[in-house]
Homo-oligomer: A and B are copies of this chain.
Amino acid sequence: MSSSISYRGRYNEPVPTSNLMNDEADFAEFEAFEDEEATPRAPSSEYSLEVQQLEMSQSINKPNHLTSSYDLQNLVIRRGQEFMIRVTFNRIPEPSDDFQIEFLIGANPSLIKASLVVVVFGPRAGEGGRWQGRVLEAQGGGALTIGITPAPDAIVGKYRTYVAVSKGTGMQRSKRDATTDLYLLFNAWCPEDPVFLPNEAERQEYVLSDYGTIYQGSVGAVGHRDWVYGQFERGVLDACIFVLDSSRMPIYNRGDCIKLVRKGAAMINSQDDNGVCVGNWSDDFSLGRSPTSWTGSARILLQYANTGTPVSFAQCWVFAGVFNTFLRALGIPCRVVSNFNSAHDNTGNLKTDLIFKEDGSPDERNTRDSIWNYHCWNEAFMTRPDLPPGLGGWQVVDSTPQETSDGHYRCGPAPVAAIKEGLLCHPYDAAFCFAEVNSDVVFHKRDRYGALTPYRVEKTYVGQNICTKSVGSSRPYDITHTYKYPEGSAEDEQTMSRAEEYGCVRDHSDVPETPLVVTITADQVYLGQKVVLQVLFQNRGNGHRVIQVQLAGAIVYYTGVTAYRLRDRSFSVTVPANQSVTEFVTVAAEEYAPFLGSQLSLYFMVTGRSDGQSVTAMKLVDLKTPELTLMVSGAPRVKQEMFVSVSFTNSFSFALMKVQLSMEGPGLMSSRSRYYSSIEPGAVITWKDSFYPRLDGVRVVVAVMDCSNLRQVWGVIHVVITT
């Protein structure tokens, strides 16, 4: 877009949308006062004050601001909290000396928009803006230690720093010096900052932890994988600022965490705006890396910043992982959340409609809704001054591109409390999130003419096991109760009717009563083992029943979409009055393995018909895979050489082809990969590599092995590094 043409008559000055300065210098080194230009005057003092040096006191500030982990030469601080700088003058300043510290962000910095901040000392002290300044210590020879407290709503990003001395006819300013640039972040430790989080353990986890666990799999068999957020790795913070610049977000709005997280949700996916990650839910990833092959976010963000082009490919946990890095890098408390049986309804109502043929088999052609095995999004913690009281706290933000979220590819921030209460009349996208966790599943029978008759409504299937990593451990923390009242409680009914008042279309199908109940259970098995389904038929009626059973099995994507239909089975079961019968159905590995491709989910639907009544049960079986084995050796000390080995044994009967093995340890080693053209049955691979720890404490190395016929075999090892 030729913005230079289009905006000529639109703004006095273009709105800066980049953190960078423009080509011109910020200010003249000597800036004459406008009212003095015509009448130059001799310096007011014969021995005038001159700035000799400006030091950013990193070794004091970084530990105080908990920013030592950032792999950056420049100062990184959090807003609303004092930091120190040391200014050395040519002599000891006197009370009459008039000087100021200036902080500038973006092009054409503006005092009124707070992209230029001035902290004034001397006779005019206090005249500046909302950042506080004080002299902490005056040393001999003219060195001052100065404390500066940025406003708790200051613009977040990279500032340039100057010291300017008033000289009677103008301001004498220090030279531009890139080493005095500083990064200002949101501050979860500052009670005045809207992202303030009171609990220290939570702050450690949700702001400072640079790796975490993302839950996947299925209800009742929740799996997990570790993900390296890597927000402190070299270049990552700059990449996050690049994401904002790339979005053309006005600098002036970058202190507002609501606007910033909403912009982030739009930018982490590539749709609309050439954002960070390209979604791909197929099994053809030949034009990029498969979503399952990444070990963490850093490599993705760095590639985006280096090339300016979207990175291929991502699925929901990748979007959520990268978004988490973006938020933590900027200082916003956040976490990745998984919702199991997540409804993705194209029309955004509260019904997920599943359609069955007259014989009881699933009618895939006419079923448009799907239920994702799981879906990951993020929560960010902040106050919501734009909303009525009670809606601050955790906010759902989701960067996975969803068609129905307000027509654009982003979602949130939606208050979790608003979802729980059914208060869907507030921004942003609360109704959409509400449907993801609260949809009813409606089972329809489709007759020969195409007419649909609902025969069953399942109110508890969708939105189970909503969980996130526990603070300080890798166990899942179930937060379903923060999204929903217990099913059937009075509060739940109130939430549902409130949601209905706000336009959510609920199911009110009049489904026939039936004394029949069918349920499926299955043990979790490894890939290559047989799957045994226990199908329990209950007859709560007083007559015995002959049930015609149709069992349909399929290999499904994690989005619930069928990749391959397995052979259907039909049989009949006779259940006496008020009794139960369990049928065991075994699916041998040979029956599913040839069709697995890279998917690891089997999905079974059983429909039983008796006397014109139908019942249906669904069961997702996630196949487990072996893990990688990681070992470390060497002295676990900062900057000392260490070694890590990753090994894998192919215990399958088939060869793994075109295998990519990657590993990464935040604070230890950046992401690295190896390629194996094939790993034959029975073969063992081992990869040993060296690294030099940069950060101390409990660190991890995460490794992932990925190939086109077996996805996401992973492993992790923890190691304690000392200084």
Closest to A11 in B: B561
* A177 at interface by CB-CB < 8 Å: no
* Distance between Cα atoms of A425 and B424 in the complex (Å): 11
B15 touching A112, Cβ below 8 Å: no
A503 touching B166, Cβ below 8 Å: no
Which chain B positions have C-beta within 8 A of A449? 33, 100, 118, 120, 124, 127, 166, 171
When the two chains form the complex, which single residue of B12, B404, B444 contacts A112, counting CB atoms closer than 8 Å? B444
Among A99-128, those with CB < 8 Å from B are 100, 110-113, 116, 118, 120, 124, 127-128
* A448 at interface by CB-CB < 8 Å: yes
- Known pairs A253-B348, A386-B431, A424-B386; A366 contacts B112 (CB<8 A): yes
Among A272-314, those with CB < 8 Å from B are 272-273, 278-284, 287
- Known pairs A253-B348, A404-B253; A281 contacts B7 (CB<8 A): yes
Which chain B positions have C-beta within 8 A of A282? 5-9
* Distance between Cα atoms of A346 and B120 in the complex (Å): 27
* A364 at interface by CB-CB < 8 Å: yes
Which chain B positions have C-beta within 8 A of A12? 364-365, 367-368, 370, 561-562
Which chain B positions have C-beta within 8 A of A450? 111, 116, 118
* A520 at interface by CB-CB < 8 Å: no
Closest to A280 in B: B6
Closest to A112 in B: B353
When the two chains form the complex, which single residue of B266, B279, B386, B562 contacts A408, counting CB atoms closer than 8 Å? B266
Among A1-25, those with CB < 8 Å from B are 1-2, 5-13, 15
- Known pairs A112-B444, A273-B272, A346-B15; A425 contacts B386 (CB<8 A): yes
* A34 at interface by CB-CB < 8 Å: yes
Which chain B positions have C-beta within 8 A of A370? 11-12
Closest to A559 in B: B10
* A557 at interface by CB-CB < 8 Å: yes
Which chain B positions have C-beta within 8 A of A424? 386
* A36 at interface by CB-CB < 8 Å: yes
Q: Mark A332-364, 1 if CB is under 8 A from B, else 0.
A: 000000000000001110000101011100001
A559 touching B368, Cβ below 8 Å: no
Which chain B positions have C-beta within 8 A of A160? none
B9 touching A563, Cβ below 8 Å: yes
Which chain B positions have C-beta within 8 A of A9? 281-283, 557, 559, 561, 563
B11 touching A404, Cβ below 8 Å: no
The 8 A-B residue pairs whose C-beta atoms are closest, nearest first, are A8-B282, A9-B557, A10-B281, A385-B503, A33-B448, A9-B281, A386-B503, A252-B347
* Chain A contact residues, CB within 8 Å of chain B: 1-2, 5-13, 15, 33-36, 100, 110-113, 116, 118, 120, 124, 127-128, 166, 171, 247, 249-250, 252-253, 259, 262-263, 266, 271-273, 278-284, 287, 346-348, 353, 355, 357-359, 364-368, 370, 385-388, 403-404, 406-408, 424-428, 431, 444, 448-452, 502-503, 557, 559, 561-563
